[in-house]
Structure 1
Amino acid sequence: MAEGATRRTVLATGAAAIVAPVAACGGNAGGTGGDLGKTSDIPEGGGKVFKDQKVVVTQPQKGDFKAFSAICTHEGCTVNKVANGTIDCPCHGSKFHIADGAVAHGPAKRPLPKKSIKVEGNSIKLA
């Protein structure tokens, strides 16, 4: 211990050092309410992967927005693109339908879990 430092001072300083990085990671409590982007960012018949939020938002039909986990149900890779009506995983070739997250092509056997979003005006947010 440094001269003049008490055990309580050292413990309190150490606890603050641990808490500060954890608080910085969250952004918002529970991972809800995060702004993903604009509706114009999501092409009709396609979608967009939001890698940092681990979510993929699709627009199967004009004005109908869906959201799914961006984590492939096969082995946990992050999907990387939406093309030709599917959400695609680069690791082993799994593909999921943009309308409901159902498996279009394995090896994945389970659909992508649905995520809650809110469309407010022209803004898309995690619910």
Structure 2
Amino acid sequence: MDACFSRRSLLVAGGAGLGALTLAACGGSPVPEVDGVAPGGRIVALADVPVGGVYELSVDGHRVVLAQPTAGTVVGFDATCTHQGCTVRATEGGPLACPCHGSEFDPVTGEVLQGPAVRPLAPFAVTVSGADVVLA
């Protein structure tokens, strides 16, 4: 059986494949979502944010990364890359990485470690209250 494809069917198939790859690169795995959080409201249990690691979530539809550099100290950042607005993701034991153009950010300070981004990630105000991370 001969497999003949028209130019149109090849372009459609190629475009669909490229679209799927793009979504896979930028989408990643689902993250927990928290809605309706007011200042002082609980975002997540402190125990869910690994010491020396990063925790990704969505707060009122806005992607955020939290880090606990030392036990009991949590910092938060807007997960929007300052280069062109892609969503940065945590890497295993490393920086926050933008899958679109390769920018990397320090998970504790939000500072740029590698461009093309030149501005740090915007802070996301959080604090620790007892056993919870709350919106500051």
TM-score when normalising by structure 1 = 0.68
Letter in 2 for 1:43: P
2:133 maps to which residue? 124
User: Residue 42 and residue 53 in structure 1: after superposition, are their counterparts in 2 closer, same or farther (change >3 A)?
Assistant: same
Deviation at 1:82, TM superposition (A): 4.2
Say yes or no: does 1:40 pair with 2:47. Answer: yes
Take 2:91 and 2:67, find their aligned partners in 1: how far apart are those partners?
A: 8
2:4 maps to which residue? none
Q: Could you tell me which of 87, 93, 96 is aligned with 1:87? A: 96
TM-score when normalising by structure 2 = 0.64
Tell me the matched-pair count.
Answer: 100
1:76-124 CA-to-partner distances (Å, cap 9, x unmatched) read 0111224323112221121111121001111111100111112111111
Say yes or no: does 1:76 pair with 2:85. Answer: yes
Letter in 2 for 1:92: H
1:114 maps to which residue? 123
User: Residue 102 and residue 95 in structure 1: after superposition, are their counterparts in 2 closer, same or farther (change >3 A)?
Assistant: same
Take 1:86 and 1:56, find their aligned partners in 2: how far apart are those partners?
A: 12
2:5 maps to which residue? none
Letter in 1 for 2:46: T
Deviation at 1:33, TM superposition (A): 4.5
Which secondary structure does the structure 2 equivalent of 1:109 belong to? coil
**Alignment RMSD (CA, Å):** 2.0
Structure 1 segments unaligned to the other structure (5+ residues): 1-25
Deviation at 1:62, TM superposition (A): 2.2
Structure 2 segments unaligned to the other structure (5+ residues): 1-34
- The structure number with the bigger radius of gyration is 1
